[in-house]
Structure 1
């Protein structure tokens, strides 16, 4: 239902699954395993996999913390979008990468739920995309010492409200890894 003309395809977005971002993430290994399952499925179905990689003062480019986790190797032909803001579209070439591939629907995975994931799912919908959040393939760290709810509650709340998200001509939704359909 995307509002983007001539964009019938889906793409898998893998956002910020970097050593320094997910080192202390809730259910790190389980989430990465689910993302790996989705990457393998997307590749098998010839669905574009787009890797998004954050950098800033606390996550310097080319540092070990900045690198993607070793469990998720990039395919040579798969684009990597470099970003400096929470929303993966802001100040990046993500829109051009998706347009080139005829993508009108993004399937979103990665980290951090309460920062870059939320910013990107909202940013995508505002830009006209249909947005599927994979509920068991995103994570965040424990920020309770700053007043945030525990990570499992942050994830559950995000999954709940995104499940019912929509806008004119666009659809959100939350599904588990086992239920992802790219077609």
Structure 2
């Protein structure tokens, strides 16, 4: 039960599954395969799929690094949100797109766990959305040389703390891909 009004629908939000973002991601192939399966199941159930695509100096728009990975293909009818900040809501059309879809519940997958995924799940939650993070369908690269924990620990920690989020009138959930029911 989200606090955004007149938004009874769910949307699958696919964040930054781009060549340059997931090239060195933890369990890249397995994670992308789970995301592809969720996209197929969402489409089959009539659930809107919303794609988010980041651009910046390292991911210049139109470059090979900026492209969504070959295993995933946004349909022409599916919204594609261009962004340049971690939180997919900041400076984008995401809020307006979700309003058009009457979506008050977001099911979130993608990359990087500790950057854009984390920023977006928090951004959606504070804006009043119910947010389900798919426990095994988000990933990050190994940033341990800069003091971060190994990626499997980053993912596990994100799943742990998200499972304990709470706020009035909103829900935060962690659910494995196999248990997502549309």
**Shorter chain as normaliser: what TM range?**
over 0.9
Aligned residue number for residue 9 of structure 2: 9
Alignment of 1:1-183 (within 5 A): 1-182=1-182
Counterpart Cα distance in 1 of 2:129 and 2:66: 28
Structure 1 gaps of 5+ residues are none
Counterpart Cα distance in 2 of 1:34 and 1:108: 12
Counterpart Cα distance in 1 of 2:177 and 2:20: 24
Q: C-alpha displacement at 1:165, in angstroms?
A: 1.1
Structure 1 segments of 4+ aligned residues over 6 angstroms from their partners: none
Size of the alignment, in residue pairs? Answer: 182
Q: C-alpha displacement at 1:163, in angstroms?
A: 1.1
- TM-score, normalising length: structure 1: 0.99
SS of equivalent to 2:82: strand
Q: C-alpha displacement at 1:79, in angstroms?
A: 0.5
Report the RMSD for the aligned CA atoms in angstroms. Answer: 0.5
Counterpart Cα distance in 1 of 2:55 and 2:175: 29
Structure 2 gaps of 5+ residues are none
Q: C-alpha displacement at 1:129, in angstroms?
A: 0.1
Counterpart Cα distance in 2 of 1:181 and 1:146: 38
